[in-house]
Amino acid sequence: MDYNDYGTHMAITKPIRNKIQALKKEFDALRKGKESLLIMIDDAEIPEGVYNSNAIENSTLTLKETEKILLEMEVSRNVSLREIYEAKNLAGVINYIRNKIQGMELSKETILLLHQMLIGGIDDSIAGRFRKKGEYVRIGTHIAPAPEHVESLINNALAEYSGNLESYFVDKIAKFHLDFETVHPFCDGNGRIGRVLMNFQLMKLGFPFVIIRDKGKQEYYDAFKKYRESRDKNARTMEKIIGLAVIESLHKRIAYLKGENIITLAGYAKKNKKSATAVSNAARRQNIPAFREKSVWKIGESYKEDG
């Protein structure tokens, strides 16, 4: 599949499409024979993915506490049992899709199975099923569609995603995520399942796992607001968020696959006598091959800016 194929109304700009395509090509060439290294990177990233996704949903766990819980270590403060289950269950769902991705399709059955794994043991009365009669949910000021419409709306979103052969893949994934969260099909766990499905879709296309970060929560929420309130269903903010996350994830893996010496971005700026602010802004825009590990920006030491 040519990831540069796109229809006439695509929002991801051509330079970004070209950048993603070039990075994907480099990633595919470098990964041959290094699958064990990629598995290591993915494993190391799971606590970060779990921490961020749960933090967006107002979990009080820190990244360090999330790491300890996933390693079955004692956490120093009194953490609620629910938050411990939420961390462990989400890690289990992420591991499950990583290991089973080849044999799975994006379907209503898959969505319900993943929800069962996420909420099972936390609230079995709502795990693995859509909202039913009388179960309404509100997200901020948005009241999600009535339970009677949930199944058909999810079926429509799935059909649109699989039937849309025109749009660029980032735009398609963004649209599906916006539609899924607008429907809010479950009584609980919608955001976490939605972000798992985003990674499911990316992995199906041969892309690595991405992290939607709690630090960027405001922009992420704004993306839903713009989509729901604009007459033309403006998805551009979500497309940008996902596009940048894909580029960052590829930058990280390429740096490791090349055997780069990884240093902090602050250290890189100092060593190369560059403004820390300018370098950090370039990292956020992904204009340089920087990436985050445990919320700290890093880069391959040998990177040299053009010109």
pLDDT digits (tens, 9 = 90+) for 242-258: 999 999 999 999 999 99
- Compute the distance between CA of residue 123 and CA of residue 278 in angstroms, rounded to an integer: 47
Q: How far apart are CA 68 and CA 60, in angstroms?
A: 14
Distance CA 102, CA 97 (A): 9
- In angstroms, the CA 128 to CA 40 distance is 30
pLDDT < 70 positions in the chain? 1-11, 306-307
The confidence score (pLDDT) of residue 76 equals 82
Its sign, for the CA torsion 31, 33, 34, 36, is positive
What is the C-alpha to C-alpha distance for residues 184 and 203, in angstroms, rounded to an integer? 23
- Please provide the size of the chain in residues: 307
Domain 14-259: give its CATH architecture. Orthogonal Bundle (1.10)
What pLDDT score does 116 carry? 98
Query: pLDDT tens for residues 175-226?
Result: 999 999 999 999 999 999 999 999 999 999 999 999 999 999 999 999 999 9
Which own/partner pairs from 30-37 qualify as long-range (CB within 8 Å, at least 24 positions apart)?
30/254, 30/257, 30/258, 31/253, 31/257, 34/257, 37/256, 37/257
**Would you tell me how many other CB atoms lie within 10 Å of the CB of residue 146?**
12
pLDDT of residue 223: 97
pTM over 0.75: yes
